[in-house]
Chains A and B, each alone.
Chain A
Amino acid sequence: MSTSHAVRHTSTQGPVLRVRGVTKAYGRHTVVRDVDFELRPGEVHVVTGPNGAGKSTLLKILAGVVSPQAGTLELHGQTREFVGPAQARAAGIATVHQELSLVAELSILDNIMLAREPFWLGRRARKEAALSVQKRLTEVGLEVDVDRLVGQLPLAQQQRIELVRGLYDGAQIFLLDEPSSALPRADVMHLYQQINQLRAGGCAVLLISHKLDEILELGDRVSVMRDGEIVYSSKIATGTANTADDQLRREIVAAMVGQTSPENGPEPSAGPACTRPLLRLVAANVRTSPRVGPVDLELAPGDIVGLAGLQGSGIQPFLHALAGAGPGLDARAFTLDGRALTIKTPGQALAAGIVLLTCDRKTAGLVGSLGSLDNTMLSALERFTTLGFVHRQQARAAAGKLLKQANLVAADLDAPVTTLSGGNQQKVYLARCLLAKPRLLLVDDPARGVDLAARQDLFRLIHSHAQAGNCVLWSACELSELTANCQRILAFHRGRVVGCFSRPFDQKAIVAATLTGVPQATASVAVATTQEST
């Protein structure tokens, strides 16, 4: 895992960027409180901590996006004013924000050059810029045409374009806010390489992350934030032995939650023994090109089944099709609770009891201008409505209860949901899906950007939803999330189901199946449908 450790060298130079005593409050809610922080060249400083701790706010202060009420900033040893994003960029600070911030309507080239373009964009200047940008793109392993519109790229690629913007600027300081949370596995490795290259090139990197492995793999120094303060800070020694690793792990987790807690999900219970299947899917095909399927699936009440596969293996189109949100589904049989379904729109899916949590909460999930409560109610309004009138109190109470169970940290439940921290937005999104009480819940990376402790709460919510006699299809970037939470895992490869695994899971076999499409001979393969009938 730690191939990168060799290139590390502890920097002896002074910090390139240092803030002292920064404080930021929104109204009466102090988000960052008297924080001292510094970045050194050739060093990756990881910041972690629970959702809503103020990590992103600290990063935004450094990036000039948010101006603090108090504090001083030193850049290369010189005291500077906190100014706007343009000046921060000019000073060599590159930022990858937690929520994607590119202009979908502009081309890749225009996005990368945005706010740095010369006054006059002649054909020649454009061509030269295109060449150099293309080179940078190839360096980070993106083989795309610079004239493509950013909106047409998959999420994972969009993220890397923000990084390329920093490289193009020639930035020396990189601020990365949970850069790996939106990436599929293969791209994550690429990102790590990239960060190691930045370090080797003498750049200073601030990395916000919730993933312990990532922190230990990449970080030279780790700080834990809680309630707006840095409560723990430590160096991460190069090439740490496993025992020291464990020690550090425990310390970090303890600092985050104030106590030690297990890293993985609750043990899934076997689910109530029930013979009648809740969901039955025979020879289902998704009308994409190339087609996804055929998928055969039978889920009993209480079942949580994982879908494992690489990006582009067809899991997302499959989930979208089930929820009526994408190209349609052809199936010989598609029944939920004994009723045959044809689903063409998300509305029909909702009425039939199917709800999808997409992996993209910002564009496909939440209504940014509405408050947390209103967002949570959105899919469940039907239940609280008589003759077109909504029982507001009832709906608010139900939504509020669920948000509390999800451990939401928010100063005001009616403030626009965009003012919540990223992880808290995710909790609101999951709460909305659960409040609709779907018979079949489809989740795609449900804990994206959620901190370690709150993850458990979210997983517990999903489990208790399943236990109430519903079923769940679960997709995630990390296999360990599936193995910890699911009773069975289907492996997808190029649009086909190539294996069905059950407990105890053989991780290697699953990975092999998703990579090659050929399940290992020894793996506990069974045709998906045969399992329940026994």
Chain B
Amino acid sequence: MNLRELWDRPLARAWMAVALVGVLGCCFHADGAFFRWPTHRDMLRQVAVYGLLACGMTPVILTAGIDLAVGSIVAVSAVAAAKLIIFGGVDPVLAAGVVSLGGLALGGLSGAVIAKFRVQPFVVTLAMMVLARGLAKQLSGGQKVTAYAAGLSPTEATGLLTGLDTRLLGDQLATVTAIMIACAIFTWVLLRRTRLGRHIYAVGGNPEAARLAGVPVGWTIFWVYAYCGLCAAIAGLCQAAQETQGDPDTAMGYELDAIAMVVIGGTSLMGGRGGVGLTVLGVLTIGWLQKILSLNAVPEASRLMATGVILIGAILFQRRKHA
């Protein structure tokens, strides 16, 4: 394979982007901080919630759709988990199960409306975004759900809430990172190795052809959004664990970060092209970029501007030539 062909492959370009950011890190290493593993461990912990959302978002974008509700679903899930565990005293594993099903249901609801009534995903999930945020405030009564509010000391907040915020492998890897990796692998298998995965690509590439071939287009769309909701709920659990509380105002605007990560990876918003491997590289690109900017103590204003510029640059760089 010659260099040119290699260059035409999105995966090669996504790796290039990661490598470029890596080089940037090596140049601005903040007194060697960039060369120490804990820096990267922390980066991987910080991107975990975003990464989970991006993994769920990838199949949605592959069907040429979009899900704006994931940030709000994170908030609902975080509130619900905190409420169940701290106030309800529910077994954490059971609580996690209930919350995940809740996310699946919320996502599925968006999917059902999109598939059944052929409304544009943008509009439906925008409505769901508002609705879920309202639900989070309703559940929490507008207050942060904390152990303190329940009259318990923070250490008494049992099991899961703190349990998820631990590290594995002799302190080398955050548990939430492991969850994100597991989710990415699961999504990869879903997209590459199952029937649903093929249908997702087909529906995104040419919905009419897919329908004519006998693909259940409606069900495919339904499951894609349900899965995205599930990932968002899991992300909500991780968020609650890291904050040790359920904050109804958390994860504001996370959906845009998730979409940016998917797109930076090289998955096409037009549908049908891309994959979760690319998304993982997108997550790394943005995660590292943020880390490097904060390591070098760039003030927030410049950080945002720099991120904007680099995002555009990365997307231009990823852009595929039209044949």
Residue numbers of A with Cβ under 8 A of B are 63, 65, 84-90, 95, 97, 100-106, 110-111, 113-122, 165
Contact = CB atoms under 8 A, between A and B. Distances in A.
B209 A115 contact: no
Given A86-B214, A101-B213, A119 B206 contact: no
Nearest to A117: B195
Interface string B193-218: 11101110110111011111111100
Contacts of B205: 103-106
A250 to B, nearest CB: 37
A101 B209 contact: yes
A103 B202 contact: yes
Contacts of A101: 206, 208-209, 212-213
Q: Is the interface of A mostly helix, strand, loop or mixed?
A: loop
B195 A84 contact: no
B211 A85 contact: yes
A62 to B, nearest CB: 13
Nearest to B208: A101
A114 B198 CA distance: 7
Contacts of A114: 198-199, 202, 210, 213-215
Given A89-B214, A106-B201, A118-B195, 4 more contacts: A85-B211, A87-B214, A114-B198, A114-B215
Contacts of A115: 199, 202, 210, 213-216
Nearest to A125: B193
A103 B214 contact: no
Nearest to A84: B214
A120 B198 contact: no
A95 B198 contact: no
B195 A119 contact: yes
B266 interface: no
A252 B146 CA distance: 83
Contacts of A116: 214
Q: How large is the interface on B (under 10, 10 to 19, 20 to 34, 35 or more residues)?
A: 20 to 34
B272 interface: yes
B118 to A, nearest CB: 14
A326 to B, nearest CB: 10
Contact of B194 (A65, A110, A120): A120
A95 B209 CA distance: 12
A120 B197 CA distance: 10
22 contacts: A84-B214, A85-B212, A86-B214, A86-B216, A88-B214, A89-B213, A100-B209, A101-B212, A104-B205, A105-B201, A105-B272, A105-B273, A106-B198, A110-B198, A110-B202, A111-B213, A114-B215, A115-B210, A118-B195, A119-B194, A120-B193, A121-B198
A90 B215 CA distance: 12
Of B204, B209, B214, chain A has the most CB atoms within 10 Å of the CB of B214
Contacts of B214: 84-90, 114-116
Contacts of A100: 209
A110 B205 CA distance: 12
A508 B273 CA distance: 47
Contact of B201 (A88, A90, A103, A113): A103
A97 B193 contact: no
Contacts of A84: 214
Interface in B12-58: none
Among all A-B residue pairs, the 8 with the closest Cβ atoms: A86-B214, A105-B205, A105-B272, A115-B214, A103-B205, A101-B209, A114-B213, A103-B206
Contacts of B211: 65, 85
Contacts of A85: 211-214
A65 B212 CA distance: 7
Nearest to A102: B209
A102 B195 contact: no
Nearest to A109: B198
A121 B195 CA distance: 7
A103 B204 CA distance: 9
Nearest to A118: B195
Given A85-B212, A115-B214, A121 B194 contact: yes
A111 B208 CA distance: 13
Nearest to A63: B212
Contacts of B273: 105
Interface in B95-148: none
A118 B193 CA distance: 10
A118 B198 CA distance: 10
A96 to B, nearest CB: 10
